[in-house]
Amino acid sequence: MKKAETRRTKMTKTLTAGQVSRAMRVGREALGVVRTTGALNQTTAGATRYTTYVLPALALLQDLAGAVARGEVTEAEAGEGVGALMFSAFRLWDVVLAGARAGTLRYMARNGEVLEFFGTRRAAAALRRIAA
């Protein structure tokens, strides 16, 4: 098996809740709470495992929670942002898994301000920590 194939295999494996929480630096309890909301449904691989797509999904949720905490968006806007940005986060993740650099997500708040979220970069760093 070639080196690139080995790397891709490591990067596309399923992850345990412990791996995800350590790599993304969130508590396991927080991961469980988020999972109950349905926000991670597309990233599950069975009852106790996740695909690597959980990493950009969690990063997006962290970015939106930070925007709420800073007063840049309301909780309602953050909820809309999850729906509006999750597909884009997954598309950016496809690019990361293909070996390219992580990009930036942009979201226009109701006040017209464009917010930039760099969570995909954190997710890529988390994946490197897991693969190491």
pLDDT digits (tens, 9 = 90+) for 81-116: 998 999 999 999 999 999 999 999 999 988 899 999
- How many Å apart are CA 119 and CA 83, to the nearest integer? 16
Give me the amino acid identity at 21: S
CA 51 remoteness from chain centre: 11
Q: What is the pLDDT of residue 12?
A: 55
The model's pTM is 0.84
| Phi, psi dihedrals of residue 52, rounded to the nearest 5° | -65, -15
Single-letter amino acid, residue 91: R
